[in-house]
Amino acid sequence: MSSHEQEQFLHALRRVELHVHIEGAMTPELLFKIAERNGMQMKHDIFDFSEHLDGSQKATYKEYVDLNQFLNVYTKATEVLKTQEDFKDLAYEYMRKAHSQGVMHAEIFIDVQTYVDRGVEGDKVVHGLDEGFKAGQQEFGITYLMLGCALRHLSSDECVEGIEMLRPYHERGLIHGMGLCSSEKDQPPSKFLPAFQRAREIGFERFTAHAGEDGPASYVTEALDVLGVTRIDHGINGIKDEEVFARLKEEGVMTTLCPLSNISLNVIDHLGELPIRKMLDHDLKFSINSDDPALFNSWILDNYVAIHKEHALSKADWIKISHDSISG
């Protein structure tokens, strides 16, 4: 099969996205639109601009040195989000783009606590997002689940408060699970056990954690043993460790890889560092995802194509990845 035929196959392959942050799907165009609607003047220090042949300019987010610099840009970008309409537009635009990328189901991280702390009502955040996702589901046929987040830069007590903010939305069937997000540096999973315990008491059943991205392989083990997660997000340093790799395989734990995110944040130097062939041959379950697609200017299909170019996978390989994603 020629490379052109393979790319056509990848475009046609239906896929599931298990690791995407909704704020990270806000394109510069949408950001400027929302900022103007809210009477805000955005500083241009987080953007690069290129000029088209017709003289118009296209904005992209600046390249990042590391995860912390990225999180600073991420925070600045989200400051424009203030109204229920803003969150609805954000969710709908993700669904529209996801449809063009062949996504049939998405599980999307949402961050309620950050906005409540800024004075935005939680209902505006959650109901706005749900309205946008529902509109996208009706128009494009994409199913979705919203997952809340415990944020590592907050204290353990603040994360418990954040879980309490999610409680009414879980009870209404709007938020279906929770994850542990943000930079791992000096933030072991065990610190956030009280938040996960409270989430279980409330009735949450779906748990995941960012682990082994900028943290050690031991954080993957800790997330499994202490927090009881059933999915590992990123997990790069875990899958490089033979003992952790063997455990992930044996227990059938899904690892949500975000290859071009890892390149953008200098977590890895090149895609060949990801042991894709080994993971396939040893039947370690993984999915390929975009993470923060607008902020990295790389959507889920871009990640599929990039991995194929680096690892030259077969049709059977891609079908397995797709099936594992669906079951993940």
**Sequence-separated (6 or more) residues with CB below 8 Å from residue 223:** 180, 189, 209, 211, 229, 232
Copy the structure tokens of residue 130. Answer: 């749900």
**Is 222 noted as a catalytic residue in this protein?**
no
d(CA 269, CA 302): 17
Contact between residue 104 and residue 142 where contact means Cβ atoms under 8 Å apart: yes
Copy the structure tokens of residue 322. Answer: 């797709």
- Find the catalytic residue in 213, 243, 250, 273: 213
Strands (E), the chain: 15-21, 47-51, 57-61, 103-109, 143-151, 175-181, 206-211, 231-234, 254-257, 286-288
d(CA 168, CA 172): 6
Q: Which residues are catalytic?
A: 213
